[in-house]
Amino acid sequence: MRLRDIPITAWIGIIGIIAAFICAFFAPWIAPFGETDVLGDVWAPADAQHVFGLDNLGRDILSRLIYGARTTLFVALGATVISFSLGIILSFTAAVSRGAIDLVLSRFNDLMMSIPTLIFALVVLAVLPQNLIVLILVMAILDSTRVYRLGRAVALDVAVMEFVEAAKLRGEGKLWIIFREILPNTLSPLLAEFGLRFAFAILFLSTLSFLGLGIQPPAADWGGMVKDNKDGIIFGISAALVPGAAIAALAVCVNLVVDWLLKRTSSLKGGRGDA
C-alpha cells in the first residue's frame, strides 16, 4: 500500500484523529487555562483571550475541550479495545469449537442483542456504582455482542479453509489456530469494524454523559459539557454546541477512515459490485 493511494477524504479523517490524540496527550501544555479554573462571568461571550467563550461556571470552553479530549478518547478507546478483544476471542472460540460451546455463546449473544444497547446500559447503570472502570466495562461488554456476531461470521468462513484443516491435522492447539491461522486472514474486515465500533463508542459515551450517567463532574468530557451548557441554548448562547460539534467532528473523521477501509476490503474481494 502506498501513501498516494489513500484518498483525500481518508487523509482528512486521519489528520483529525491525530489532532484529537495530540490534544489528549499534551493537554496540560496545549490548553491555555486549567480544566476547572473559574476565569470570569457565566457564559461570557467569546473574545481574543477565550476563543469559544466561558461555560456555565465561567470556565474556559477551549481548555475544557482539550482536557475533555483526554477522557472521551481514553474511555472510548479503552471500551473499544476491551469489547473487541472479548468479542473476537469468544467468537473465534465459538467458530473453531462449534457444537455446544458455539450454541450456548451464540444464543446468549442473541439474547443480549435483543435488548437495545442504550436501554440495557440504562438498566445496568441504574444499579452499578458510578465510576470510570464500571462505565468502560459496561460499554465494552454491551458492544462486544456486535463484535461477536461479525467475528463469528467472518471466522466461520475461514475456519473451513484447507490451511486450517491442515493445521488441525498437524496437531496444532486451538490457540494456535485462532491466533495464527484465522486472525491474520480476517484482519481487514475486523480493522474496519474496529473503527466503526470506536466511532460508536465515542457517540455512546457522549450520549451517556449527556444523560448524566457517564463521566461524572468536575472532570471535563465532551458529552458532559453539552449537558452542563444546555440551559444556555434557550437564551441564544451557543456554548453547548461547541463540544457537540467536537464529538461530531471526531466521529466524522473516524467514519471517513472506516469508509475507506471498507471500500478497500470490498475491492480486495473483487466482484462486479460498486457498492
Partner 1 sequence: MSNPADAGQPGLRLRERFPLVALIAERLALSIVLLFAVSILIFGGLEALPGDFATTYLGQSATPQAVANIRAELGLDRPVTTRYAEWLGNALHGDFGTSWASKNSVSEQIANRLGNSLFLAGFAAIIAVPLAVGLGMLSVHFRNRLPDKVINVLSLAAISLPEFFIGYLLIYFFAVRYGIATFPATVYAEMSFLERLQAIALPTATLVLVVLAHMMRMTRAAILSVMSSAYMETAELKGLGAFRAIVKHAAPNALAPIINVVALNLAYLVVGVVVVEVVFVYPGMGQYMVDAVTVRDMPVVQACGLIFAAVYIFLNMVADILAIVANPRLRHPR
Minimum CB–partner distance for residue 256 and partner 1 (Å): 7
Minimum CB–partner distance for residue 195 and partner 1 (Å): 12
Single out the residue of 183, 238, 263, 265 in contact with partner 1 (rule: CB under 8 A): 238
Separate counts of helices (H) and strands (E) for the chain: 12, 0
CA-CA distances (angstroms) from residue 182 to 66, 93, 163?
40, 11, 10
Minimum CB–partner distance for residue 9 and partner 1 (Å): 8
**210 lies in the binding site for partner 1 (CB under 8 A):** yes
How would you class 8 by CB atoms within 10 Å of its CB: exposed for 0-12, middle for 13-18, buried for 19 or more? exposed
**213 lies in the binding site for partner 1 (CB under 8 A):** yes
Single out the residue of 61, 76, 226, 261 in contact with partner 1 (rule: CB under 8 A): 226
Minimum CB–partner distance for residue 238 and partner 1 (Å): 6
Cis preceding linkage at 32, omega within 30: no
Cβ-based nearer residue to partner 1, 170 or 272 = 272
Minimum CB–partner distance for residue 250 and partner 1 (Å): 8
Joined grid coordinates for residue 90: 469468544
Cα separation, 209 vs 224, whole angstroms = 5
**207 lies in the binding site for partner 1 (CB under 8 A):** yes
Query: Residue 251: which of 209, 222, 228 has the closest Cα?
Result: 222
Cα separation, 138 vs 135, whole angstroms = 5
Cα separation, 263 vs 77, whole angstroms = 23
Single out the residue of 39, 46, 191, 211 in contact with partner 1 (rule: CB under 8 A): 211
List residues near partner 1 by CB under 8 A: 9, 110-111, 114-120, 122-129, 199, 203, 206-207, 210-213, 223, 226, 230, 233-236, 238, 240-241, 244-245, 247-248, 251-252, 254-256, 259, 271-275
